[in-house]
Structure 1
Amino acid sequence: MRYSKPMITMLGSFLIVNSAWSMPPSTQIGDIGAIVDTTTPASKSHQFIELELNIQTALRQALQGDAASLTRPQLEAAKQSDKVADIQWLHSVNYDFAEKKNQQADIAILSAFSQLPADVLQKNLATVTQINRDATQGQREQALADAEGINYLYFLADALGPRLGNAFINAYNNGEIGKAAALIKASEVSTSAAKSHFNYPRPFLQPDNTIHLVPDSVVVKDNKPYSATGGAFPSGHTNTGYTDALLLAEMLPERFVPLIDRGARYGFSRVVLGVHYPLDVIGSRMVVERNIAHYLNDPQYRQMFEQAKTQLRTALEKECGMTLQACAKSEGRDDPYTDPAMTTFYRFTMTYGLPAQHKEATPVNVPDGAEVLLEAPLPNLSATERKHLMVKTAYAGGYPLSGSDEQSFWHRLNLHDAVRQATH
C-alpha cells in the first residue's frame, strides 16, 4: 500500500503558522448556523428551494418505487436499482476493493481517539448538544433528507447549483451515469469495524443528555424520532456522504470546492440530528480522504474511474444542453455552495471549535500519493507543487485526532483552501 512508504516532509517556507487558513476559527456556532441555513429549504432563493424539493421528490420516488405509499420498512431496505447504477459493469471488472485491509488502515488513522482526555470528550458532547438544540427547522429538514437518502446520490445535486443540479437528477434517474453511480457507492469503505473497535456511545445515550431526536417530517413523514444504532465513532453516514462527494468532485473538478463543502455539510447534518459528535464527523473525513487517495493511486481502480468519469461528463453535457464548463458556472445567490461564506463553514468543520491539545508549530508530512486528491482540480500543477500546496494550506496542528505524522496530516488536510488558493 502506498502509505507504508516513507513520508515526504515539507519544511521552510511551506510550514505556515500564521496564515488565515491555518489558524483555528473564532467563529461562533450561531454564525455557522446562519451560513448553513442558506443550504437548506429555508434558503431565500426560490430556485434553490425548488432544487431541494426536486431532490426530495426524486428520493421519495426512488424509495417508494411502485408501492402505494412510502413506509419505513421500504426505507430500511432501499438501495440503488439496476436502472440507475450499472452493477453489471462493476461486477464485470471484478475489482477487489480490499475492504477489510482498508478498514484496518482506517482504524490506525483514528487510533488517537482512544487516548483523548475527558475534557475533550466533554467538549465534544457539549458541542453536539448546542448544535442539535439550536438547529433551525430548515437544518433539521435537510438533515433528515440527508440521513434517509444515504443509499442514493441525490443529495449531491444541491452542491451543483440549480442548473447542473437538475441535470444531474435527470441523468441519474435515467440511468445515464450508471457507472459513476455504481463505482462511487462501491468505494465506500464501511466504518463497521472501526465502530466496533472504538465502541463509543452515541450522544443521546450519554447519562443526563439533553439531545433532541428529530421527528421525520420530510421523507417517510411518520414523525418517528430519527435515531441510530451501533457505535458513534466514526460516523458511517459521514463516511458515505464525504466519499460520494469527494469522488464526484474528482469527476467534476469544475465543482470541486462546492462538492467537498457538501461532504462537510453532510457531516454537519449528523450533528444536527444529535446522533454523532463532531469528532465522529472529523474522523470520517480523515479516513475518506485517505481511502480515496489510496484508490486513485491504484491503476486498475483508476481505469474504472476514468470510464465512469467520461460517461458522467458526457451525460451531464447532454442534459445541460451546453458545455459542462458553462453549465457548472456559479449561479450567484441561487447557488449557495459557491458563496464565499462556505469557506468559513468548511474551516469550522475542521475542528468544530474543539480545543487544541498543544499549539506548537509542527511540520506537515505529506504521505506519498496523497497529492493525487488535487490532480483533477489543479491539473497544471506538478505532483511536487500539489504537495507544497497541501502543506501551505494545512490547518493548524495539535487538535484532537492528531497523533502520529500521518494522523496529523489527514486531520490538517484542507482541500477547500488548497484549491481556492490556487484558483483565485
Structure 2
Amino acid sequence: MKTRFTLIAALLLLAQQAQALSLPDAAALASQTSIGSAQAGYNDLEQQMQQALRAALQGNNPQLTRNLLEKAKQSPTQADYAWLKSSGYDFQTKANQQAGIALLAGFSSLPASVLDANRATVTQINLNATQGTRHQALADAEGINHLYFLADALGPRLGKAFLTAYDKGELGKAAALIKASEVSTSAAKKHFNYPRPFLHQGNTIHLVPDDVVVKDNHPYTAEGGSFPSGHTNTGYTDALLLAEMVPERFEALVTRGARYGYSRLVLGVHYPLDVMGSRMVAERNVANYLNDARYQGLFSEAREQLRAALEKECGTSLAECARSTGKDDPYRSPQMKRFYRFTLSYNLPQTTGKHVAVTVPAGAEVLLKTALPQLSAAQRRALMVKSALPGGYPLSGNAEQSFWQRLDLTAAYALATQP
C-alpha cells in the first residue's frame, strides 16, 4: 500500500513540474529533437531521414520541385495499397469527421482571453525558434504523406532499420493501413472557419523559407482554416498506430506525435488550440478503429509483418534493437515527458471552479493495450484517470471532451512501468 501511494505522489509531483514548464524550457527540449542538435548519432539519423524523404519526393525526376511535393504520396513499393483495397474495409470517414467536430464543439465558445493567449503563444514560439527547430519543422511539414518522420523516435539503431525496411517495401501493410487511418480534418476546418496565425490582423509571424526539403526558399504557408490542425492529426495518428505496433518505443513514439504538432507552431501556421484539438480527435479515432474487430484483424496482420521486417533488418530481437542509446536517443530522455505534458495545454488559461471528473469512454483503454498487456482493461482505465492533466484547460467541456483533452498516455505508461 505504501508503494502504491509513493507512486501516486511521484506522479503528482511530475504533473506539477510539467505544468510549470515554461515556453523557453519547452523550446529547449524541442531543440534537442531537432536537426542540428548536439547528439551526433541523432543527427546522422536525421540526415538519413531527410535524404530518404527528398529521394522519395523527387522520384525519377531530374530535380525536386514544389509541384512534385504537392502531388507526393507513398509509392506502391512502400505501401501495399492492393492488400488494403482487397480487404474492403470501410473507414467510416464522414461519421468520424462529424464525431470529431462534436468533440471540439467547445472551441466556438472560448472567451477572448483564451484566444488572445492562443495567439501570443504561437507568436512567441514562432519568433524565438532556433534555425534547427525551423529546419525540423520544415522536414516534418513537407514529409506529411510519408512515414519517414517517425524514424527518429525509434532511436538510431531501430530508426535506421525502419528506413531501410520502409523503402524496400517490407512494411507495406502497415504503411498502407496507417496512412488510410488518418481522418481528414477538412470538414472541421470548414465548420470552425478560423484564420491561421499569419493571417490574423496585426500579426508579427515570421514565415519560414524552405531551405531544407525543396530548397527553393519559398516561405512555408498553408491554406484553409486553422482549427484543427491537419498535419497534427496526421502526426498523432501515425505515431499512435506505430506505437501500438512497436510498444517497445511507446512513450517515444507518442511524444513524437506531440513534437510533430509543435512544429506547426514553429512555422507559424497553427495555434496551440489547433494542435491540442487534433491530438484529441486523433486519439479518439485511433481508439475507435482499434475497438473494431475488422480493423483489428488488418492491424494485427500489418503489425506482424512490420515487426518481422524490423527484426530482419536489425539482425537481432526487436526488444534489443529498440533499446535506448543514451544521449543519441533524445526521445527517451525523461525530460521529454515534461515536454509532452506541456503540449497538452501549452499553458493556456484554466477556468476556475469545479471541473468535470475524469471518466474514461468505453474502449479508450485500448490505447494502452499493447504497451501494457499485463494489465486488465479496468487497470488501464484507472491509470488514465490517475495520470490525467488537471481540469479546466480549453476544449475540456463535457465528460468526453474533458477526458480526451486531459489524457496523458506517457504519464499513464510511466505510472505502470516505473520501478
State the TM bucket, normalised to the shorter chain: over 0.9
Q: 1:63-82 counterparts in 2 under 5 A?
A: 63-82=57-76
1:56 to 42, 50, 53: 50
Task: Name the counterpart of 1:350.
Answer: 344
Shift of 1:358: 2.4
4+ residue runs of structure 1 moved beyond 4 angstroms?
16-19
CA contact (8 A) 1:188 1:240 kept: yes
Give, in whole Å, the separation in 1 of the partners of 2:280 and 2:90: 22
Task: Name the counterpart of 2:208.
Answer: 214
Secondary structure class of the residue paired with 2:95: helix
More off after superposition, 37-46 vs 330-339: 37-46
Return the letter of the residue paired with 1:21.
Answer: A
Give, in whole Å, the separation in 2 of the partners of 1:22 and 1:130: 23
Give, in whole Å, the separation in 2 of the partners of 1:200 and 1:361: 27
Secondary structure class of the residue paired with 2:249: helix
Return the letter of the residue paired with 2:97.
Answer: Q
Q: Taking CA–CA contacts closer than 8 Å with sequence separation of 6 or more, which of the two structures ends up with the larger relative contact order?
A: 1
CA separation of 1:192/1:339 partners in 2, compared to 1, >3 Å: closer, same or farther? Answer: same
CA contact (8 A) 1:241 1:267 kept: yes
Shift of 1:232: 0.2
Shift of 1:127: 0.2
Secondary structure class of the residue paired with 1:218: coil
Secondary structure class of the residue paired with 1:226: coil
Structure 1 residue 302 corresponds to structure 2 residue 296:
yes
1:96 to 80, 90, 95: 90
Give, in whole Å, the separation in 2 of the partners of 1:169 and 1:17: 35
Shift of 1:307: 0.2
CA contact (8 A) 1:213 1:227 kept: yes
2:284 to 284, 287, 290: 290
Structure 1 vs Structure 2: percent identity of aligned residues? 63
Relative to the length of structure 1, the TM-score reads: 0.95
Give, in whole Å, the separation in 2 of the partners of 1:144 and 1:250: 26
Task: Name the counterpart of 1:6.
Answer: none
Q: 1:12-27 counterparts in 2 under 5 A?
A: 20-21=14-15, 25-27=19-21
1:156 to 150, 157, 172: 150
Structure 1 residue 134 corresponds to structure 2 residue 128:
yes
CA contact (8 A) 2:11 2:387 kept: no
Structure 1 residue 120 corresponds to structure 2 residue 120:
no
Give, in whole Å, the separation in 1 of the partners of 2:35 and 2:139: 11
Task: Name the counterpart of 2:318.
Answer: 324
CA separation of 1:400/1:325 partners in 2, compared to 1, >3 Å: closer, same or farther? Answer: same
Give, in whole Å, the separation in 2 of the partners of 1:137 and 1:122: 26
Task: Name the counterpart of 2:179.
Answer: 185
2:248 to 228, 235, 254: 254
Give, in whole Å, the separation in 2 of the partners of 1:110 and 1:23: 27
Relative to the length of structure 2, the TM-score reads: 0.96
Shift of 1:23: 7.5
Give, in whole Å, the separation in 1 of the partners of 2:52 and 2:368: 32
Shift of 1:362: 3.8
Give, in whole Å, the separation in 1 of the partners of 2:116 and 2:36: 31
Shift of 1:25: 1.4
Give, in whole Å, the separation in 1 of the partners of 2:324 and 2:91: 35
CA contact (8 A) 1:237 1:267 kept: yes
Give, in whole Å, the separation in 2 of the partners of 1:336 and 1:92: 40
Task: Name the counterpart of 1:423.
Answer: 417
Q: Deviations over 1:142-191 (max 9, x none)?
A: 00000000000000000001000000000000000000000000000000
Shift of 1:19: 5.3
Give, in whole Å, the separation in 1 of the partners of 2:115 and 2:164: 44
Give, in whole Å, the separation in 1 of the partners of 2:357 and 2:100: 22
Return the letter of the residue paired with 2:248.
Answer: E
CA contact (8 A) 2:196 2:226 kept: yes
Give, in whole Å, the separation in 1 of the partners of 2:172 and 2:241: 14
Task: Name the counterpart of 2:377.
Answer: 383
Structure 1 residue 176 corresponds to structure 2 residue 176:
no
Return the letter of the residue paired with 1:55.
Answer: M
Give, in whole Å, the separation in 2 of the partners of 1:244 and 1:142: 17
CA contact (8 A) 1:22 1:395 kept: no
Task: Name the counterpart of 2:5.
Answer: none
Q: Deviations over 1:284-313 (max 9, x none)?
A: 000000000000000000000000000000
Structure 1 residue 199 corresponds to structure 2 residue 204:
no
Return the letter of the residue paired with 1:121.
Answer: L
Secondary structure class of the residue paired with 1:365: coil
CA separation of 1:103/1:361 partners in 2, compared to 1, >3 Å: closer, same or farther? Answer: closer
Secondary structure class of the residue paired with 2:391: coil
Gapped runs of 5+ residues in structure 2? 1-7
Shift of 1:33: 1.1
Gapped runs of 5+ residues in structure 1? 1-13
Structure 1 residue 40 corresponds to structure 2 residue 27:
no
